[in-house]
Amino acid sequence: MHESELEEPVKLRLIGRMTFAPGALGGSVRVPGDKSISHRALMLAACSAQPVSIRNLNKGRDLYATCNALRALGAVIQWSGADAIVTGGSLHDAVDTIDCMNSGSTARMISGVCAGANLHARLDGDASLRRRPMEPVAAQLRAFGARIETTDGRLPAQIAGTSEPQTLGFILLSPSAQVKTALLLAGVFSRTAITIAGDKGSRDHTERLLRYWGAALSSDRERVVLKSAPVSFQPVRVAGDFSAAAFFIVAATVTPGSAVRIENVGVNPTRTGLLDALQAMGAKIRLENARDDCGEPVADIMVEHSPLRGSAVGQQIAVRAIDEIPVLAVAAAFARGETRITGVGDLRNKESDRVAAIVRLLDATGIEALASDDGITVRGGIPRARGAAIETHGDHRTAMAAAALASGAGALEIDDPASIAVSFPGFIEMWQAAQAAA
């Protein structure tokens, strides 16, 4: 493997607007590596003084931010395609400001690395990331012993890690996999045992990776106990991204004539709330070739078109589908009756206000969506796009949800196709190939 840079996805090819066409999906699809796992694998590998091999990493723009952040702290990362070898060990303070770009995962979780490794860094990001709250993770890491100064609770932020951890038992005020991971990273890099309560079943990729790499860790839906750091960094392969697969799943479900197989997808139960919600609505979805791969459950997902009925989606499902709520709302638009989704107030603080984005998206096709402080109600029917234009506000998930909506409702134009490169640089080509295969 030769040493090379992870290239930032090229935006010039996608400048301007583009239109998603209607049409069924078919054939087989293989989505990129899971973005959440990729962030975590790179960061955890940076605590190893020996080279760690990671295969099938996500190559979206968010991972470009994490890669550069780790290099700024002294990690060596060698790339070959979607694979990388990471060597950490002797990390150091960041000389220049770390640009987290649009990646909240990078900003929040690299703070945990700095806190535990006793490093100093200044973190910043783009205008969107500067609007997102950083105080929930900063407050927990201050209790750990780090000194963190935010800007009115947001970025830019200054962080100084600690060599003498203080608090070792934490309570999450709300379920947050990013805050939980930041604390686990602080424990790993400081070689300190910690306990985290109040988890409520948020995604557990960090815990699975830690166990796969030999850490002593126990967890359930309420509590995570890290007893020791990883001891054996064997090669790891990242599962296919369920959040990327979600757009193909919903589009195939709502578009007559669709039948698609999505291969090698991570089906971690902390991530598959969308499947539970869709199956309750009558979707035809089945898992095949189920297996365990490097500590994560993986399967091929088979989806066919099916009429849907409205349903209630409560917080227990919503927390396991938080990134998929925009495309779940697309499914609800085609369902007979009303769908009520609750427990998703955090969507207002993502890359954009995703609750407002859902309302705008569905309104463009004549479907009523009513927002509340903690949820959204969709009154399903027969969406009709008629070439409507969608303002994505730079949000990759809104852009891809528009593709799923267009597949069954008619042509939809989006203003910022380049935003998709945050998580899925090859999405447009893969989408068009799936429609051509139907």
Quick one: 23 and 128 in the same domain? no
Q: Is residue 143 part of a domain?
A: yes
Q: In angstroms, rounded to a whole number, what is the distance separating the alpha carbons of residues 303 and 306? A: 9
Residues of the chain with pLDDT under 70: 1-15
CATH code of the domain containing 91? 3.65.10.10
Q: Are residues 21 and 119 in the same domain?
A: no
Query: Do 63 and 183 have their domain in common?
Result: yes
Tokens matching residue 42: 């790179």
Residue 197 falls inside a structural domain: no
How buried is 166 (Cβ within 10 angstroms: 0-12 exposed, 13-18 middle, 19+ buried)? exposed
Same-domain pairing of 40 and 133: yes
pLDDT for residue 262: 98
18 and 75 fall within a common domain: no
Q: Which one is catalytic: 99, 241, 323, 346? A: 323
Active site residue 323: yes
155 plus 300 within the same structural domain: no
Residue 211, in any domain of the structure? no
Rounded CA-CA distance 299/265 in Å is: 5
Residue 10 confidence (pLDDT): 40
The pLDDT, as a whole number, for residue 9 is: 47
109 and 247, same domain (yes or no) = no
User: Same structural domain for residues 55 and 178?
Assistant: yes
Do 286 and 413 belong together in one domain?
A: yes
Q: How confident is the model over 14-61, as pLDDT tens digits? A: 457 899 999 999 999 999 999 999 999 999 999 999 999 999 999 999
Instruction: Tally the domains of the chain.
Output: 2
Structural contact between residues 86 and 118, judged by C-beta atoms closer than 8 angstroms: no
CB 214 within 8 A of CB 231: yes
Domain of 146, in residue numbers:
35-190
Q: What is the pLDDT of residue 53?
A: 98
202 within a domain of the structure (yes/no): no
One domain for residues 181 and 112: yes
Last-in-domain residue among 158, 190, 222:
190
- Tell whether 321 is covered by a domain: yes
Q: How far is CA 133 from the centre of its chain?
A: 17
- Give exposure, 405-414, as e/b (b: 16+ Cβ within 10 Å): bbbbbbebbb
Q: Give the residue from 132, 166, 190 where a domain finishes.
A: 190
CB-based contacts of 289: which residues, under 8 Å, 6+ apart?
A: 299, 300
Q: What is the pLDDT of residue 395?
A: 92
Q: Which of 190, 213, 248 is the last residue of a domain?
A: 190
- Asked, for residue 209, whether it belongs to a domain, the answer is no
Please report the pLDDT score of residue 182 as a whole number: 98
The answer to the question of residue 161 being in a domain is: yes
Residues 26 and 74 in one domain: no
Is the dihedral angle over the CA atoms 428, 430, 436, 438 positive or is it negative? negative
Tell whether 200 is covered by a domain: no
Shared domain check, 39 and 25: no
